[in-house]
Amino acid sequence: MKTFLKILAYQIIQTHVLNPAKPGYRIPPAEPTYIFVAVPTTPRKQMPQIVPLSPVSGTVAPELLLISPGSSLSDSSNRTTTPEPAALSSPTTAPGSVSPPEFLAMSPGSPLSERSNGTTPGVPGSPLSERSNGTTPGVPGSPLSERSNGTTPGVPGSPLSERSNGTTPGVPGSPLSERSNGTTPGEPVTVSSPTIEGSTCESADIATNPQPEQVEEEPVCVASYLQHVKSCMRESCGELEKDRSMESHYVDVHLLQRKVQVKSGKNANKCLEKEMVFLSEAERRKATLTRKQVFNDGQMRKKQVITLLGKPGTGKSTFIKRLCLDWAKGGLPRFRYVFSLNCKTFNLTQPDYSLRRLLFDLPTSLHCEDPEAVFKHVVSTPKEVLIIFDSFEDFKDHEGLLHSPATCAKAGGFSIKQLFSGLFLKRLLKGCTLFISTRPSGVLTPLLRKVDSILELRGFSPVEIDLYASRYFTDVPRGASALTKMKLQKYVYSLCSNPLLCRYTCFLLDYHLDNRHYALPSTLTGLALRVLSLCLKLTSQTQDQETPDISRLCTLAWDFLSTHNCLATDEQLGSTDLRDYGLATEILASHTVGSSDSTGETISYSFAHALIQNLLASLHLVLSDNVNDKALVSQTMGTSRRRRPQGEWLAMVQQFTMGLLFQNCKLQVSSILHTTTSTASTAKKKAMESHVESLKAGEMAPGKLLELCHCVYETSSKKLMKHLVKNLPDTISLCGAQLTPPDVYVFWHLLQNTKALKRQFCIDVQDTGITLCGLKELVGLDCVTSYRAPLADTIAMWEELQQSGETDLLGSAMNKLTLHPFKATQEDHINNLALLIQIHRDRNLPHRYSASLEHNIPAVRQLEKLDFELGPNTGPVIFPKLALIIPTLGSLIHLDLEKNMIGNSGAELLADVLNSLSSLKMLNLSQNSIGDRGLEKLAPALAATPSLQGLSLYNNLIGEGGAERLALVLPEMRSLIDLDVGFNNFANVGAQKLSDSLKCCPWMKSLGLWNASITYGKLQHLHQLDKRIRIQHL
SS (H, E, C) 346-394: CCCCCCCECHHHHHHCCCCCCCCCCHHHHHHHHHHCHHHEEEEEECHHH
Within a domain: residue 727? no
- Provide the residue range defining the domain that includes 509: 462-520
* Model confidence band, residue 680 (pLDDT cutoffs 50, 70, 90): confident
3-state secondary structure 403-440: CCCCCCCCCCCECHHHHHHHHHCCCCCCCCEEEEEECC
Task: Supply angle C-alpha 407, 413, 417, rounded to 5.
Answer: 65
* Model confidence band, residue 76 (pLDDT cutoffs 50, 70, 90): very low
Distance CA 87, CA 58 (A): 7
Question: What residue type is 520 in one-letter code?
Answer: L
* Model confidence band, residue 852 (pLDDT cutoffs 50, 70, 90): confident
In the chain, how many H helices and how many E strands?
36, 26
Considering only 72-86, 218-232, 581-595, 619-633, which range has the smallest mean pLDDT?
72-86
How many beta carbons lie within 10 A of that of residue 489, not counting itself? Answer: 17
Looking at 487, 520, 553, the residue that finishes a domain is 520
State what percent of residues in the chain have pLDDT above 90.
Answer: 55
Looking at 499, 520, 541, the residue that finishes a domain is 520
Same domain, 173 and 272: no
Within a domain: residue 820? yes
* Model confidence band, residue 395 (pLDDT cutoffs 50, 70, 90): confident
Distance CA 310, CA 320 (A): 12
Residue that wins the pLDDT comparison between 168 and 361? 361
Within a domain: residue 258? yes
CA distances from 401 to 75, 267, 391, 563, 627 (A): 30, 17, 16, 20, 36
Considering only 177-186, 353-362, 530-539, 799-808, which range has the smallest mean pLDDT?
177-186
Distance CA 929, CA 901 (A): 5
Within a domain: residue 984? yes
| Average pLDDT of the residues of the chain | 79
Same domain, 431 and 497: no
Instruction: Say what the pLDDT of residue 140 is.
Output: 42
Residue 603 bridge partners (DSSP) = 592
Cβ burial, residue 352 (10 Å; 0-12/13-18/19+): exposed
Residue 111 CB partners (closer than 8 Å, separation 6+): 121
Same domain, 431 and 286: yes
Question: What residue type is 135 in one-letter code?
Answer: T
Looking at 503, 520, 537, the residue that finishes a domain is 520
Instruction: Say what the pLDDT of residue 30 is.
Output: 43
Residue 101 CB partners (closer than 8 Å, separation 6+): 69, 170, 171, 172
Instruction: Say what the pLDDT of residue 648 is.
Output: 65
Tell me which DSSP letter residue 855 carries.
Answer: S
- Report the CATH number at residue 969: 3.80.10.10
Secondary structure class of 340 (helix, strand, coil): strand
Within a domain: residue 694? no
Q: Which residue in 273, 248, 251, 244 sits closest to 261, CA to CA?
A: 273
Same domain, 28 and 159: yes
Cβ burial, residue 115 (10 Å; 0-12/13-18/19+): middle
Residue 672 CB partners (closer than 8 Å, separation 6+): 529, 532, 533, 536, 547, 550, 619
Within a domain: residue 735? no
Within a domain: residue 763? no
Distance CA 695, CA 542 (A): 48
Question: What residue type is 315 in one-letter code?
Answer: G
Instruction: Say what the pLDDT of residue 836 is.
Output: 95
Task: Supply angle C-alpha 778, 783, 789, rounded to 5.
Answer: 40
Tens of pLDDT, residues 601-627: 788 899 999 999 999 999 999 999 889
Same domain, 466 and 453: no
Instruction: Say what the pLDDT of residue 117 is.
Output: 43
Distance CA 495, CA 507 (A): 14
Tens of pLDDT, residues 533-580: 999 999 999 988 888 889 999 999 999 988 888 888 889 998 899 999
| pLDDT surpassing 90 at residue 15 | no
| pLDDT surpassing 60 at residue 943 | yes
Instruction: Say what the pLDDT of residue 454 is.
Output: 93
Instruction: Say what the pLDDT of residue 300 is.
Output: 59
Distance CA 151, CA 983 (A): 66
Same domain, 935 and 886: yes
Secondary structure class of 581 (helix, strand, coil): helix
Q: Would you say 621 and 627 are in contact if contact means Cβ atoms under 8 Å apart?
A: yes
Instruction: Kindly give the interhelix angle for 647-662 and 702-715, rounded to the nearest 10 degrees.
Output: 30
Distance CA 635, CA 644 (A): 7
Same domain, 234 and 210: no
Q: Would you say 898 and 929 are in contact if contact means Cβ atoms under 8 Å apart?
A: no
Average pLDDT over residues 582-595: 86
Distance CA 446, CA 452 (A): 14
Residue 606 bridge partners (DSSP) = 589
**φ, ψ for residue 978, nearest 5 deg:** -130, 130
Count how many residues are written for the chain: 1034
Tens of pLDDT, residues 717-769: 999 999 999 999 999 999 989 999 999 999 999 999 888 888 999 999 999 99
Distance CA 1032, CA 295 (A): 57
Same domain, 797 and 828: yes
Instruction: Say what the pLDDT of residue 480 is.
Output: 94
Q: Which residue in 656, 681, 657, 676 sits closest to 666, CA to CA?
A: 676
Cis peptide before 188 (omega within 30 of 0): no
Instruction: Say what the pLDDT of residue 696 is.
Output: 93
Within a domain: residue 15? yes
| pLDDT surpassing 70 at residue 51 | no
Same domain, 21 and 53: yes
State what percent of residues in the chain have pLDDT above 70.
Answer: 74
Same domain, 447 and 470: no
Residue 94 CB partners (closer than 8 Å, separation 6+): none
Instruction: Say what the pLDDT of residue 214 is.
Output: 57
Considering only 663-667, 840-844, 876-880, which range has the smallest mean pLDDT?
663-667
Same domain, 861 and 796: yes
Instruction: Say what the pLDDT of residue 415 is.
Output: 87
Residue burial 46-63, b: 16+ Cβ < 10 Å; e: rest: eeebbbbbbbeeebbbbb
Average pLDDT over residues 427-456: 88
Instruction: Say what the pLDDT of residue 71 is.
Output: 39
Distance CA 528, CA 656 (A): 9
Same domain, 373 and 490: no
| pLDDT surpassing 80 at residue 1005 | yes
Our count of domains for the chain comes to 4
Average pLDDT over residues 1009-1020: 90
Instruction: Say what the pLDDT of residue 205 is.
Output: 36
CA distances from 639 to 631, 650, 691, 695 (A): 10, 12, 10, 12
Instruction: Say what the pLDDT of residue 848 is.
Output: 61
**Radius of gyration, alpha carbons of the chain:** 38
Strands of 112-215, DSSP E:
190-191
* Model confidence band, residue 845 (pLDDT cutoffs 50, 70, 90): confident
- Report the CATH number at residue 338: 3.40.50.300
pTM of the model: 0.76
Tens of pLDDT, residues 312-355: 999 999 999 999 999 999 989 999 999 999 988 875 556 788 99
